[in-house]
Chains A and B, each alone.
Chain A
Amino acid sequence: MSLETVVFYIFGGLMVVSSVAIILSRTIIRSAVWLLFNLMAAGALYFLLSANFLGAIQWIVYAGGILILIVFGVMLTAKSPYVRFNARPREIAITALVGVILFAGLSGLMLATDWSAIPDAAPAREVQPVADIGRSLLTQYLIPFELVSVLLLAVMIGAAYLASPEKK
């Protein structure tokens, strides 16, 4: 059993377990903590997929930034961090049914697809230097890159406007 197999099963298993735990958590703050484990495991899988830059970004932006934002949202919108809303049994039944059907359909489709029709990407198995990512962002992907910077500006203004207490 190679090291890659062991590491994949550890972190893939952690992703599966933590996403189930997010569903089962009764309080929202516990869901947020399990989301942290899920995002960290996803970052580890990115490293395993030799996407080092994306793994670092995942840990910094997702686990470091978005999760803090979510925890702030929990604290600002609840009198107690342990506030709970219980789902009705009928909702749980419908959700379980939809989830199982969706997972069976998706995984069946993915296993049935003949992926070997697309040529194997042997060169991509080596780690691409970060400089290559930066170069392609500023050449091939220049227009999406600039659009994203405009979007971030709009998000900054919009979030400040929406969250401001006095609007009238």
Chain B
Amino acid sequence: MLEIGLSHYLIVSAFVFCAGIAVMTLKRNAVGILIGAELVLNAANLNFIACGRYRVGGLDGQIAAAFVIVLAAAEAAIALAIFLSFYNSHATIDVDHGDALKG
């Protein structure tokens, strides 16, 4: 319990992952869903770096985490552009109104 090992990080990351899933299902605001996705990606990153330090060794875990950060930034930019376009056409950000593919 006092000696910090790999499993401590894995438990924290599992908790943050489940919290991210809960945020994605509970929030009706589209930006809230994006926040949940960021939580999930963050939990995955923590796993990569913790496993890279304690087990696999070398830089592989850190490089994978760096690519995840880049993809998260790209995803956030595209998602916010879609939200802006959605808000312009629907005048709301409630995802329950986004039930049509066109218009």
Q: Which A5-19 residues sit within 8 Å CB-CB of chain B? A: 5, 8, 12, 15-16, 19
Contact in complex: B80, A73 (CB < 8 Å): yes
Q: Which B32-75 residues sit within 8 Å CB-CB of chain A? A: 32, 34-36, 38-39, 42, 45-46, 49-50, 52-59, 61-63, 65-67, 69-74
> Quick one: CB contact mask for A26-55 with B, threshold 8 Å, 1 for yes?
001001100100110010011001110110
Size of the chain B interface, CB-CB below 8 angstroms? 71
Contact in complex: B88, A165 (CB < 8 Å): yes
Q: A54-B65, A73-B31 are in contact. Are A136 and B59 (CB under 8 A)?
A: yes
A19 to B35, CA, bound (A): 10
Contact in complex: B21, A5 (CB < 8 Å): no
Find the B residue at minimum CB distance from A103: B18
Residue of B11, B42, B45 with most chain A CB atoms under a 10 A cut-off: B42
A27 to B36, CA, bound (A): 14
Q: A20 contacts which chain B residues (CB < 8 A)?
A: 19
Contact in complex: A133, B59 (CB < 8 Å): yes
Q: How far is the CB of A117 from chain B (nearest CB, A)?
A: 9
Which of B7, B21, B32, B55 interacts with A110 by CB under 8 Å?
B7
Q: How far is the CB of A90 from chain B (nearest CB, A)?
A: 12
Q: A22-B35, A28-B32, A78-B93 are in contact. Are A141 and B74 (CB under 8 A)?
A: no
Residue of B8, B63, B77 with most chain A CB atoms under a 10 A cut-off: B77
Q: Count contacts between A and B, CB distance < 8 Å.
A: 232
A115 to B11, CA, bound (A): 14
Main secondary structure of the interface of A (DSSP, over half): helix
A32 to B85, CA, bound (A): 21
Contact in complex: A61, B69 (CB < 8 Å): yes
Which of B25, B42, B69, B81 interacts with A159 by CB under 8 Å?
B81
Contact in complex: A76, B59 (CB < 8 Å): no
Contact in complex: A28, B19 (CB < 8 Å): no
A32 to B54, CA, bound (A): 32
Contact in complex: B80, A45 (CB < 8 Å): no
A31 to B22, CA, bound (A): 13
Q: Which A149-168 residues sit within 8 Å CB-CB of chain B? A: 151-152, 155-156, 158-163, 165
Residues of B in contact with A (beta carbons under 8 Å apart): 2-4, 6-12, 14-23, 25-32, 34-36, 38-39, 42, 45-46, 49-50, 52-59, 61-63, 65-67, 69-74, 76-78, 80-85, 87-88, 93-94
**11 residue pairs bridging A and B, Cβ less than 8 Å apart:** A19-B39, A46-B46, A46-B49, A54-B62, A54-B66, A78-B93, A85-B27, A94-B25, A103-B15, A121-B52, A137-B63
